[in-house]
C-alpha cells in the first residue's frame, strides 16, 4: 500500500504530507528505496549496474551516477575497486545484502522500505548487518519502514514499533514503552515473559563498563585491588588472558597466564548488554573484558553492573 501496488479500501496514507492517491504510481515508486529478504539483484548485471538501477531510470547524468554508486558502496562497507565489477553469483549472502541496501539508497530516497531484509542470513551475519544498518542510518538519517517477525531485531533497530494482530493495529510505541507496558494480552504474550531481558538489547556495554587494573607483562606487580585475579596485557595493552594472584610470580609468564574460556569472551563497547549477559552465563564468568577492534583492553563489564541496572528500575517490568 505504501508504494501503491495495492490501494487501501478505506482511509488515507500520506507520503511527504500528500495523499498517496495524488501521486503517479510509477513516479512514486521511484522515490522510494526497497530492500527485500532475498535481495533480488539482477543476475546479469554487475554490482555497479545493480546499484545504478534507479538513478538510470531517473535519467541522472552518467558522471553523477558513477560518483553516487562509488559513494554508496563505500557507505555500506564494500570497496568499489573490489566489488563494483563483480556479479551477484560471485557474492556471499552478506555481500549481496549490502549491495541490495546500496541499490535501495542509490537515488537518495526519503523513504526506505525493508521487507525482512536479514531473514535469509545466518545468525552471525544477521547480527553484523543489523549493526551495519544502525551505523548506516546514523549517517543517512532516513525514514525506514521495516517488516520483521523477529522481535529482538525490532527492539534493536526501531525507534518505534507497530504491532499488528489479524490486520488490526494493537500497539504503536517506542520499544521501551512496549516492553515496559504491553497494551493487552496479545502484546504481552508476543513480547514474552523475558521482556526485562529484551530491554537489555538496546543497552550497550559502553554504558556500563568500568576501568580495569591489569597486570602488564614484564612488570609483575599486583594491582591495588581487593580481587584475587587480574587481566593480563602486554606493553601495548593487548589482552593476553587473566592470572590469579595465588600463582607465584616468576619469569615464565606463559605458564601462569590463563586464556579466556572461549573465543568471543572479550566484548566490545558496542556489544548489547543482553549479549554480554548471555556470554557470561555460557562461559561461567561474572566479569568480561572489554576490548577495542585491535584487542586493546579498554575495561570490563560485570554481571553486578547489569544486575544493578535491572534493580535500579531502568530495566523493570511494568
Q: What value does the mean pLDDT take over residues 47-54?
A: 94
Look up the CATH superfamily of 14-199: P-loop containing nucleotide triphosphate hydrolases (3.40.50.300)
Per residue in 147-193, pLDDT (tens digit) is 988 888 999 999 999 999 998 999 999 998 898 889 999 999 988 87
Q: What value does the mean pLDDT take over residues 27-44?
A: 85
* pLDDT of amino acid 247: 62
Sequential DSSP letters for the chain: -TTSSS--SSS--EETTEEGGGS-HHHHHHTEEEEETT----TTS-HHHHHTHHHHHTT--HHHHHHHHHHHHHHTT--HHHHTT--GGGS-HHHHHHHHHHHHHTT--SEEEEESTTTTS-HHHHHHHHHHHHHHHHHH--EEEEE-S-HHHHHHH-SSEEEEETTEEEEEE-HHHHHHS-SSHHHHHHH-TTHHHHGGGG-BGGGT-B---PEETTB----S-SSSEEEEE-TT-BEEEEEETTSPP-S-GGGTPBPPSSTT-SB-TTSBHHHHHHHHHHHT-SEEEEE-TT-BEEEEEEHHHHHHHHHTTTT---
Domain chopping of the chain, boundaries? 14-199, 206-311
Instruction: Indicate the average pLDDT of the chain.
Output: 86
Per residue in 84-123, pLDDT (tens digit) is 999 999 998 778 888 988 999 999 899 999 888 887 677 7
Fold of domain 206-311: CBS-domain (3.10.580)
Amino acid at each position: 500500500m505504501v508504494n501503491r501496488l495495492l490501494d487501501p479500501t478505506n482511509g488515507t496514507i500520506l507520503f511527504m504530507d500528500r495523499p498517496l492517491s495524488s501521486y503517479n504510481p510509477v513516479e512514486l515508486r521511484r522515490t522510494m528505496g526497497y530492500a527485500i529478504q532475498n535481495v533480488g539483484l539482477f543476475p546479469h548485471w554487475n554490482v555497479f549496474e545493480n546499484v545504478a538501477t534507479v538513478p538510470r531510470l531517473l535519467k541522472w547524468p552518467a558522471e553523477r551516477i558513477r560518483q553516487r554508486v562509488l559513494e554508496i558502496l563505500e557507505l555500506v562497507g564494500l570497496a568499489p575497486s573490489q566489488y563494483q565489477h563483480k556479479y551477484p553469483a560471485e557474492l556471499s549472502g552478506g555481500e549481496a545484502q549490502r549491495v541490495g541496501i546500496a541499490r535501495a539508497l542509490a537515488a537518495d530516497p526519503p523513504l526506505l522500505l525493508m521487507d525482512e531484509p536479514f531473514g535469509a542470513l545466518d545468525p552471525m551475519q544477521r547480527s553484523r548487518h543489523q549493526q551495519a544498518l544502525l551505523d548506516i542510518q546514523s549517517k543517512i538519517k532516513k525514514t525506514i519502514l521495516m517488516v520483521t517477525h523477529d522481535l529482538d531485531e525490532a527492539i534493536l533497530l526501531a525507534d518505534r514499533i507497530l504491532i499488528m494482530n489479524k490486520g488490526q493495529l494493537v500497539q504503536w510505541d517506542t520499544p521501551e514503552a512496549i516492553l515496559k507496558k504491553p497494551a493487552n494480552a496479545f502484546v504481552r504474550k508476543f513480547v514474552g515473559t523475558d521482556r526485562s531481558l529484551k530491554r537489555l538489547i538496546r543497552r550497550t556495554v559502553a554504558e556500563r563498563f568500568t576501568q580495569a587494573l591489569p597486570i602488564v607483562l614484564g612488570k609483575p606487580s599486583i594491582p591495588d585491588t581487593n580481587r584475587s585475579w587480574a587481566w593480563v596485557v602486554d606493553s601495548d595493552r593487548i589482552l593476553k588472558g587473566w592470572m590469579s594472584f595465588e600463582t607465584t610470580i616468576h619469569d615464565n609468564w606463559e605458564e601462569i597466564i590463563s586464556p579466556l574460556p572461549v573465543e568471543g569472551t572479550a566484548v566490545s563497547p558496542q556489544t548489547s548488554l543482553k549479549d554480554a549477559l548471555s556470554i557470561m552465563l555460557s562461559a561461567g564468568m561474572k566479569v568480561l573484558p572489554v576490548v577495542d577492534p585491535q584487542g586493546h583492553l579498554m575495561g570490563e563489564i560485570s554481571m553486578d553492573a547489569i544486575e544493578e541496572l535491572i534493580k535500579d528500575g531502568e530495566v523493570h517490568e511494568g
